[in-house]
Amino acid sequence: MCGRFALSEIPATIRRVFGYKDQPNFPPRYNIAPTQPIATVRLENGERRFVLVRWGLVPGWVKDPADFSLLINARSETAAEKPAFRAAMRHRRCLIPANGFYEWQRRDGRKQPYWVAPKDGGLVAFAGLWESWAGPDGGDVETGAILTTAANAPMAEIHNRMPAVIAPEHFEAWLNTVEVSAKEASEMLRPAPEDLFEAVPVSTRVNAVANDDAALVAEIAPEEMVPAPEKKSAPKKKATPPPDDGQMSLL
């Protein structure tokens, strides 16, 4: 899954990479968490637009979001069929700009966070979905979710899922919900190339949403990491007694 990520690039660079016409200005974020606003890029009247939505998708048919589970991720393998995501996969696909994401490795009941980012730096585009929910007062709330896929080999050592990444050459097709079907779009949702990301252990400070600074993505020394579980030695095999031949032994 993906429960935290960062977008620290300057707005002008994000605009250039994703090609939207808007000129938003926003601060760098190093610890974006569920229910917070996230940047998305989508097509409106054939043009790419920058739109902030709340992280945690709420389908339009939900009566009361307070009684509905927070959907921050959608499994790419089943999103096109699941009632919560089916309509969005057909009509409301988006890109979610990011510099990287955090993932936690379980270690004997504890968790070690890792910062996962492109080896060469820069931005990536997570595959996203968005929805609009109309409240009883007539106001609309736009929400979104990140699509995930099976982890590639390097990431699988940390977690079995990772965000689905859309390559720049597929931006237009992913966003084009008029000419590209949900089934065709689903074929773009594959594990990232194994040489795209690198993962480094980082401080458990990232666990607290209140912490949001550049130091969160700094690699920590091995001795600062959450201890790995001790390997249990195999139990010693008991010696097999010699067969009883009815004679007493002095040895």
Which residue of the set 2, 9, 94, 142 is catalytic?
Answer: 2
Which residues neighbour 40 within 8 Å (Cβ) at sequence distance 6 or greater?
Answer: 50, 51, 52, 53, 94, 95, 96, 128, 130, 144
How do 100-107 and 4-7 pair as beta strands? antiparallel
* d(C-alpha 226, C-alpha 112), whole Å: 5
Q: What does the CA dihedral 110, 78, 140, 32 come to, rounded to 10 degrees?
A: 30
Cβ proximity of 195 and 133 under 8 Å = no
DSSP code of residue 68: S
Nearest Cα residue to 51 out of 32, 60, 38, 35: 38
Amino acid in position 34: P
Is residue 157 part of the annotated active site? The answer reads no
Instruction: Say what the alpha-carbon torsion angle 166, 202, 216, 164 is, to the nearest 10 degrees.
Output: 10
User: 2 catalytic, yes or no?
Assistant: yes
What single-letter amino acid sits at 131? Answer: E
**CA–CA gap between residue 211 and residue 208 (Å, rounded):** 6
Catalytic residue among 9, 94, 103, 131: 103
Residues marked as catalytic: 2, 103
